[in-house]
Amino acid sequence: MSNYSKVSVADGARSELHDALSLTGAEVSINLLPAGAGVPFVHSHKCNEEIYGILEGAGKAVIDGEEVALKAGDWLCIAPAAKRQFFAAADSAIKYVCIQVRQNSLEGYTMADAVM
């Protein structure tokens, strides 16, 4: 049995990696909104915070009613209870990664979790 998983993601509106990589501690999705489009719903979570990384393009997030401008290179962490919705700019598509993990579950990271 292998100690890793690998998958290739084709360009598309949304690719969820939980099942494709047999993830056990996170959900990861790659998302693409065309220029002028938006996620058609507002949502929050019960337990999971979401980390968003803007890979290409520009747009905005509306978080608890506040507009947050987004561009390639920006990263954003949103608490579970926050209500959120994402939009591409009128003249630009936006491509982003969303990493969903249980809030306050990280016990060790980087060198604290490494075995040398």
- As a whole number of Å, the end-to-end CA separation of the chain is 23
pLDDT band at 13 (very low <50, low <70, confident <90, very high): confident
Provide the domain count of the chain: 1
Q: What is the dihedral of CA 11, 15, 18, 19, to 10 degrees?
A: -80
pLDDT at 15: 85
Is residue 115's pLDDT more than 90? no
List pLDDT tens digits, range 86-114: 999 999 999 999 999 999 998 888 888 88
Question: 25: closest CA among 84, 81, 103, 96?
Answer: 103
Evaluate whether residue 86 is within a structural domain: yes
Evaluate whether residue 13 is within a structural domain: no
What pTM was computed for the model? 0.89
Evaluate whether residue 21 is within a structural domain: no
CATH (domain of 70): 2.60.120.10
Evaluate whether residue 33 is within a structural domain: yes
Residue 92 region by backbone torsions, left for phi larger than 0, else alpha for psi between -120 and 50, else beta: beta
Is residue 1's pLDDT more than 60? no
Evaluate whether residue 55 is within a structural domain: yes
Structural domain containing residue 94: 26-103
